[in-house]
Amino acid sequence: MTGTGRDGGGKGTLRAELLRARRAMTVQERSAAARALAERALELPELAAAGTVAAYVSVGGEPGTRELLDVLRGRGVRVLLPVLRPDNDLDWAVYEGPDSLVRAGRGLLEPDGPRLGRDAVLAADTVLLPGLAVDVDGVRLGRGGGSYDRVLARLARAGAYPALVVLLYAAEVVARVPREPHDHPVHAVITPDGVRRFG
């Protein structure tokens, strides 16, 4: 897949292609992918050994994370979930199970517990990132809202170096993603097919 045009080096075109492919997936395909993703995730040692993981609740056609969240919590991992702030930055709260999730703006699900502040992510050993694609150099294509760009910049400024991992479908690992100076490469991608590390 390639994208060209005046939309941030082709990012808009590529996003549209990838979102179309996600919408074409059946409920059964998504469910099977979510189960496989939860199984494959613990093949990554940084995730299997983590004490604190910053994650997110998948929505819409995103690769399913709910099974993975429960697996991590069942292993005693402290799971932090994002809470979208009015300025599009992210606050964080601890995941206390499926019953603790409430509907929020933009179709998101967020934990209903105490807010820990934007810097809570600095305690994470591993940060699981949403995305639409990643390329062979580990450059992630997000949805374009900039929330996770702020998180990654905050980690870099603080000198925090958690493992950065994006969760995707197998076909979303592509040859090249249009990149910009603020893009932070990830360390690995987890797909239903397995784990791939980047240099």
DSSP-based three-state secondary structure for 138 = coil
* pLDDT for the residue numbered 4: 34
**Distance separating alpha carbons of residues 161 and 76, to the nearest angstrom:** 22
* pLDDT for the residue numbered 112: 95
**Distance separating alpha carbons of residues 30 and 9, to the nearest angstrom:** 30
* pLDDT for the residue numbered 179: 86
Q: Where are the domains of the chain?
A: 11-197
**Distance separating alpha carbons of residues 8 and 177, to the nearest angstrom:** 11
Here the tokens at position 56 are 């997110």
Query: Which residue, among 164, 143, 83, 154, has the nearest Cα to 119 in the 3D structure?
Result: 154
Question: Averaged in consecutive runs of 10 residues, what is the pLDDT profile of the chain (199 residues)?
Answer: 43 91 96 95 94 96 95 97 95 96 90 97 97 95 88 93 96 92 90 94
**With a threshold of 0.85, does the pTM exceed it?**
yes
Task: Number of helices (H) and strands (E) in the chain: give both, helices first.
Answer: 5, 12
SS (H, E, C) 150-178: HHHHHHHHHCCCCEEEEECCHHHEECCCC
Query: Which residue, among 64, 94, 69, has the nearest Cα to 80 in the 3D structure?
Result: 94
**Distance separating alpha carbons of residues 31 and 26, to the nearest angstrom:** 9
Architecture of domain 11-197: 3-Layer(aba) Sandwich (3.40)
* pLDDT for the residue numbered 92: 98
